[in-house]
A and B are shown apart, each in its own frame.
Chain A
Amino acid sequence: MNPKREVIGQTSIRSKVHPVPFAPPRGEGPPPVADEHPLAAYLRMDRIPHIWCPTCGIGIAVKCLAEALDVLQLDTNKVAVVSGIGCTGRVAGYMKLDGFHSTHGRAIPFATGLKLGRPELKVVVFSGDGDLSGIGGNHFIHAARRNMDLMVVLVNNFIYGMTGGQNAPTTPVTAKTSTMPFGNFEHPFNLPALAAGCGADYVARWTTLHVRRLTRSFKEALNRRGFRFIEVIAPCSTLYARLNKLGTGYDLMEFYHNNTEIKNGADPQTVDIGFQGKIICGRFVDSERPTYLDMMKQHYTKVLGDKFVPMPEEGGLIWPPGEKPTTPAAKATAEVREPEEVTHG
C-alpha cells in the first residue's frame, strides 16, 4: 500500500500534512477502478493533464457542468461553451463541446453573437471574476438587462489568477493581492446583487464544496432560457490562498464547510462577502422574465405580423443549391427535464 494513497482516500476534507494532493502514486499502487473517467465524453481527454494547480477549484466546477450535461442527456452537439481569458478562461478548451476561447472580457458578447447567429444553440459562458465582472463588466450588465439567452458561470476566486494574483473587482476588503500588498481597500462587487439588479432571470451562488447543489443549479440553468447567472466561489490555492496565508485549496474547502450558509431565496443585496467572512449560498433569483429572443419575436410578430421573418433556428447561413442537409439536424433530441425537486437545501 502506498501511504500517500491512504491520506487521499480519507473522507474528511481536513488534511493536516498536505501531501501533494491528487498526485498519483508512481509505480505500484492499486489497479485503476475504471479505464476511463466516467465523464470523459464531455472532456478533451487528449488535453489532460490540464494547466490548473493542485487544489485549484476550477476543475470541480467543470466536473459539475459535465455531470449536469450527462444527467440531462442533452444533445451536446448543440451546446457551445465560450470563455474569456484567465485560468477559468481555459475551460472552453477542456470541454468536449464547440469551445471558444475568446478575448479577455469578451466572452459574453462573443456568446451573444453565437446565440443570435444560430438560436437553437445552448450557449454557456464559463469564465473568471476578473474577466466577466472587471474588463467585461459592461457586457455582463447589458446581457443581464436584455435577459440574453445565455448561461453564465463565473468562477470567483477573488483574484486575477492567470496573471499572478492581482486585485480583482471581487477582492474582499483587507485581502492581500500582488497589487494591493498591504491589503485591498476598494469595495468589491456583490455579484448576485449586480446580476439580479440588472434583470438576470436566474441567480445562484455555490462554492466548490457544494458539488451536488452546484450540479443541480447547472441542470436547472441548462434547462432554462434567458440570462442565468451562477457564481462559483472557488479556491485559488497558488495565489489567493498563498498571499493571504490561508493554506491550500483544501483549507479553503474546509473554510467553506464551516462558513457557508445556504439561504435559498435570500435577498441578493444581503449576500456580499467580507474577507474570510460568511458566504451565503443558494438560489437567489428564479423568475420568468421574457428573454431577449422572446421579446424580439413577440414584438416583431405584433408590429409586423406575417411579414416578420425570424432568423432560422439553425442559423442564417445561405446554402449552395442542393447542399442544405435534407434531414433536419439532430434537433429531435428534446430537452430532458429533470423531475422537479421540492427542496433546494
Chain B
Amino acid sequence: MKTDPAGVLTGAHYLDGDYACGEGAMAAGCRFVAGYPITPSTEVVERISRRFPFMGGTFIQMEDELASMAAIVGASWTGTKSMTVTSGPGFSLMMENIGLAAMMEAPCVVVNVQRGGPSTGLPTMVGQQDVMQARWGSHGDYRIIALCPQSPQESFDLVIDAFNLAELYRVPVLFMMDECVGHMTEKVIIPEADQIEIVPRRLTKKDPADYLPYQTNGELIPEFARAGDGYKFHTTGLTHDERGYPVMSAACQKQNVQRLIDKIKLNEEQIIRFEAEAIEGADIVVLSYGITARVARMGIELARKQGIKIGVIRLIVLWPFPENYIRQLAGNIKAFVVPEINAGQMVLEVERCAAGQCRAVSVPHLGGGVHNPEDIAQAIVEAAQ
C-alpha cells in the first residue's frame, strides 16, 4: 500500500541522519511519537515535533524513557504507528517495556542513536556499544529485529523498512543508528509518496465473537484488533494463551514464548539483509556496520594494495544475524576481521557462527571517534599472515 502523502517531504534535501530518520518515520506513516531528550538523538524528535501538527500526528515529551516506551506500546494498540527515540542511558530505561512490546506483540519502532557508554559515558560522541543490548537487553527469551544505517539517506530509507517490519512481524524494531550517522549531513532524496510502499496494520476481519487475540491457526503471527473497535480483548505481559489470558504453566510458556522466537527465526531469510562484495576467492572478509563500514573502506583499500584478497560484508539488519551465510563462508576463508566501535561485540556472534572453521579477529575501538583506517588495515594484514 502507498503511504499517506501528508508525511512525505518530497525533494532533494541536505539533512543529517537524525532529521532524515524523523522524515523517514513520518513518510512511513508514523503518527505518534513519545520521547525524552537525549543527545545525540534529540534532533529526531525536534524535527518531528515541528512537522507533526500539520499532518495529524501527536508528539509528547514524556517524563522519562520508561514512560516514552510504555506510551508507544499503548499507542500501538490503537493502530497508530508509533515510535520513540533515545540514546544509551534512555535505551537502558526502555528495556522492560521493549520486552512488553515483544510479549504483547505490539508493533513499534525504537530509535537508538548510539553514543559511547557505559553509563552517561560520552554524550556527544559516537559508540556502537549497544548492539548486544539490542539483542539481549530485556529479560527473558524473545526475538526482535534491529537495523543499522550507514548514511542519512539510508537512515530515511531504512526507518521506513523498520516500520514495515514491525507491522509484518508484530515486533518492536530497534533502529540502531550511531552518533556519526545521526550527526552527519548529506544529500537525502525523499521520493514521491506514491513511491513509498508501507505495510498496513493487519487488522482482523473476524467477528468479535470469534476473535481470539493470540490465535494463529498454525501461522506465526496473530491478527490484530485495535482498542476501541469492539473486540474487548485482553492482553498482558504475563505468559498467556490464545485468548490473551494469563496461564502460569510450563506448557503455556513453551507455546507462547516459542512462537515469539519462531516468528522471527523461521522468517530469517526474509528479514536478514546485508551487502556483500568481492566474497569470491577472498581470504579475509571484513564485516562491519554503521559508520564503521564507511571507515573500514579506507582500511580495506590500504590492505588491498598489499595484494590481500578481501571481501566485504556490511550488515544492514543486525538482528537476526546472517548465521548460515557466515557459517558457510567461514569454511572458505582465513579470517573474518570485525572492526566496531566497542570492545568487541558482534565479533562474538561472528566467532560463534564461524565455529572454529576460521578466525574471527576483533578490531575494537572504545568510542569517542571512529577507527583509524590504518588500524583496520593492519588487522587485515595480520589476519592474512
Chain B residues 65-83 with CB under 8 Å of chain A are 66-68, 70-82
When C-beta atoms are compared, the residue in chain A nearest to B34 turns out to be A113
Q: Does A1 contact B (CB under 8 A)?
A: no
Q: Does A274 contact B (CB under 8 A)?
A: no
Using Cβ atoms and an 8 Å threshold, which residues of chain B touch A310?
56
- A93 to B230 alpha-carbon distance, docked (Å): 16
When C-beta atoms are compared, the residue in chain A nearest to B79 turns out to be A317
Using Cβ atoms and an 8 Å threshold, which residues of chain A touch B3?
318
Given A117-B75, A117-B77, A309-B56, residue A109 in contact with residue B201 (CB < 8 A)? no
A278 to chain B, nearest CB (A): 34
Q: Does A267 contact B (CB under 8 A)?
A: no
Contact A316 B57 (CB under 8 A): yes
Binding site for A on B (CB under 8 A): 1, 3-4, 6, 29, 31-32, 34, 53-58, 60, 62-64, 66-68, 70-82, 96-97, 100, 198, 200-201, 226-238, 243, 245-246
Contact A106 B70 (CB under 8 A): yes
- A106 to B70 alpha-carbon distance, docked (Å): 6
- A111 to B73 alpha-carbon distance, docked (Å): 9
Using Cβ atoms and an 8 Å threshold, which residues of chain B touch A47?
245
Using Cβ atoms and an 8 Å threshold, which residues of chain A touch B60?
112, 116
- A263 to B34 alpha-carbon distance, docked (Å): 39
- B interface secondary structure, majority: loop
B164 to chain A, nearest CB (A): 12
Select one of A44, A110, A113, A304 contacting B32, CB under 8 A.
A113
Interface membership of chain A positions 300-324, coded 1 if the CB is closer than 8 angstroms to chain B and 0 otherwise: 1000100111111011111111010
Beyond the given A77-B228, A115-B74, A311-B80, please list 5 additional residue pairs across the A-B interface where CB-CB is below 8 A: A92-B234, A98-B77, A113-B72, A116-B58, A118-B226
Q: Does A15 contact B (CB under 8 A)?
A: no
When C-beta atoms are compared, the residue in chain A nearest to B84 turns out to be A113
Contact B100 A103 (CB under 8 A): yes
Using Cβ atoms and an 8 Å threshold, which residues of chain B touch A77?
228-230, 232
Interface membership of chain A positions 317-337, coded 1 if the CB is closer than 8 angstroms to chain B and 0 otherwise: 111110100000110000000
Select one of B32, B54, B63, B234 contacting A117, CB under 8 A.
B32
Contact B56 A311 (CB under 8 A): yes
A-B contact pairs, 18 of them (CB 8 A): A44-B245, A106-B66, A106-B67, A109-B34, A109-B62, A110-B74, A112-B71, A115-B74, A117-B32, A118-B80, A120-B228, A121-B227, A139-B67, A309-B56, A311-B80, A316-B58, A319-B200, A329-B228
Contact B54 A100 (CB under 8 A): no
Interface residues on A, range: 35 or more
Binding site for B on A (CB under 8 A): 44, 46-47, 76-78, 80, 82, 92-93, 96-103, 105-106, 108-118, 120-121, 138-139, 142, 296, 300, 304, 307-312, 314-321, 323, 329-330
Q: Give the residue among A78, A99, A113, A323 with the most B Cβ atoms within 10 A.
A: A113
Q: Give the residue among B54, B58, B97, B233 with the most A Cβ atoms within 10 A.
A: B58
B188 to chain A, nearest CB (A): 22
Contact A316 B77 (CB under 8 A): no
- A121 to B231 alpha-carbon distance, docked (Å): 14
Given A93-B246, A311-B56, residue A114 in contact with residue B227 (CB < 8 A)? yes
Contact A307 B34 (CB under 8 A): no
- A121 to B77 alpha-carbon distance, docked (Å): 12
Contact A309 B228 (CB under 8 A): no
Contact A317 B54 (CB under 8 A): no
B295 to chain A, nearest CB (A): 38
When C-beta atoms are compared, the residue in chain A nearest to B238 turns out to be A101
When C-beta atoms are compared, the residue in chain B nearest to A82 turns out to be B74
B252 to chain A, nearest CB (A): 15
Using Cβ atoms and an 8 Å threshold, which residues of chain A touch B97?
102-103, 106
Q: Give the residue among A97, A117, A314, A321 with the most B Cβ atoms within 10 A.
A: A117
- A222 to B345 alpha-carbon distance, docked (Å): 51
- A296 to B61 alpha-carbon distance, docked (Å): 13
Contact A97 B228 (CB under 8 A): no
- A49 to B3 alpha-carbon distance, docked (Å): 47
Using Cβ atoms and an 8 Å threshold, which residues of chain A touch B232?
76-77, 96-99
Contact B228 A109 (CB under 8 A): no
Contact A304 B78 (CB under 8 A): no
When C-beta atoms are compared, the residue in chain A nearest to B31 turns out to be A316
Using Cβ atoms and an 8 Å threshold, which residues of chain A touch B234?
44, 92-93, 98-101
